Amino acid sequence: MVEDASQGISFVCNNIAEYGGDPNRIYIMGQSAGAHIAACTLLEQAIKEAGEGESTSWSVSQIKAYFGLSGGIMEGEQSLQRFSPEVMVQDPNIRNAVALLPPFILFHGNADYSIPSDASKSFADTLQRVGVKAESILYEGKTHTDVFVQDPMRGGKDEMFEDLVTKIHAGDSEALAKDAVAPPRKRLVPEIMLKLARSVSPF
């Protein structure tokens, strides 16, 4: 999965300009297991770049920031050393690789019972201790899916989306000016469908 993710990132980094994208403004975001896989992919790429003779098709330096949403760490004694980003970044043998990582911004609802928000808070604290620019942003009363499924569907205030855009547009006066006059975001689905979804959703 990490290799697949790396290949996907490589394609974006090497082809984004052909599709009208800005190769200097690439961000990576993953949710839940995707957040874990994306973090593993960035760390593995950084380890390759910090080593000798390893060929790479993209560079961690091309990534402006990593956004992890409702992510966790790999559990199990035999897996932690290889697939837990939080454990791996504390290894003094890869200090040079850790120094290459982009900023990490971790979003999490504090009512998430699938992956407790403490996972993001702990990971951000660990990253900060080893010198990576990192922060965790917690949302009161939000579940594992509220911040990226239910909130956009309901319309109105979408805290995570607003925080995400603020991070991406920071320092970009033109983008910030457009944000200031943008119309309110509309609900993605009619109210009747929301009621139906709530009646059958396990969340």
Q: Is the residue at 175 inside a domain?
A: no
Q: Which residue has the higher pLDDT, 125 or 183?
A: 125
* Residues 70, 76, 78: CA angle, nearest 5 degrees: 130
User: Which CATH number goes with the domain that contains 123?
Assistant: 3.40.50.1820
CA dihedral of 74, 101, 123, 80, whole degrees rounded to 10: 30
Q: Is the residue at 34 inside a domain?
A: yes
How many independent structural domains does the chain possess?
A: 1
Q: Is the residue at 155 inside a domain?
A: no
Q: What are phi and psi of 52, to 5 degrees?
A: -120, 130
- In angstroms, the CA 91 to CA 66 distance is 20
Predicted confidence at residue 188, as pLDDT, reads: 60
Residue in 7, 95, 97 with CA at minimum distance from that of residue 50: 97
pLDDT over 70 percentage in the chain: 85
Q: Is the residue at 89 inside a domain?
A: yes
Q: In this structure, are residues 16 and 68 in contact, taking their beta carbons and an 8 Å threshold?
A: no
Catalytic residue positions, numbered: 32, 112, 144
Predicted confidence at residue 181, as pLDDT, reads: 82
Q: pLDDT band for position 173 (50/70/90)?
A: confident
Predicted confidence at residue 198, as pLDDT, reads: 62
Kindly calculate the radius of gyration of the chain based on its CA atoms and give it in whole angstroms: 18
- 121-135: average pLDDT: 95
Q: Is the residue at 62 inside a domain?
A: yes
Q: Is the residue at 182 inside a domain?
A: no
Per the structure, the complete domain to which residue 99 belongs is given by: 2-144
Residue in 78, 202, 66, 81 with CA at minimum distance from that of residue 143: 202
pLDDT digits (tens, 9 = 90+) for 22-77: 998 899 999 999 999 999 999 999 999 998 657 789 999 999 999 999 997 665 56
- In angstroms, the CA 123 to CA 109 distance is 15
Q: Is the residue at 164 inside a domain?
A: no
Q: What are phi and psi of 32, to 5 degrees?
A: 55, -120
Q: Which residues of 98-120 are buried (b: 16+ CB within 10 A; e: fewer)?
A: bebbbbbbbbbbeebeebbbebb
pLDDT digits (tens, 9 = 90+) for 62-113: 999 999 999 976 655 666 677 889 989 999 999 999 999 999 999 999 999 9
